[in-house]
Amino acid sequence: MSQTGENSIFRYYPPQNGYIGIISIPHSGEVIPTEFLPYLTKDLRAIAEDVDTKVDHLVDIELLTQNGIAVLVSNIHRVCVDLNRAEDICVLNWKKNSQGQPALNPESRL
C-alpha cells in the first residue's frame, strides 16, 4: 500500500477513492540518517527518549486511504528533522531532549 519503504525518510499512502485531504504523522520516525550522526550526542538513549514509537499505529491508515485521505508518515527521527517546525528551524532544532539532556554534540558546528 505504501509507495516508499520503512527505511526511506517517509512513507506515503495515497488515497484510494478521490481525494479529501492529507494527514501527516511527523514524529513516528526512528531512522537517523548517517549525515546527522556527527551533530548528535553519542548518548543514543538521550535521543531515544523523545521517540513517539509506533504513533502511526494509532490510526487506521488503510481506512483513511479508503475514504480519500492521503497519509504521510515520517520515518526520520524528529531530533534530525522536526516536521512540525518552520523550514528555517526544522533541522537539528532539538538542542536538548524533553528530560533536559543534550541531544546535540557540543563539539559539532552547525
For position 2, what pLDDT does the model report? Answer: 57
pLDDT at residue 1 above 60? no
Per-residue HEC secondary structure of the chain comes to CCCCCCCCCEEEECCCCCCCEEEEECCCCCECCHHHHHHECCCHHHHHCCCCCCHHHHCCHHHHHHCCEEEEEECECCCCECCCCCHHHCECCCCECCCCCECECCCCCC
pTM over 0.85: no
Average pLDDT over residues 80-92: 89
Q: In the beta sheet, which residues pair with residue 10?
A: 74
For position 24, what pLDDT does the model report? Answer: 92
Average pLDDT over residues 42-61: 89
Average pLDDT taken over every residue of the chain: 89
For position 76, what pLDDT does the model report? Answer: 92
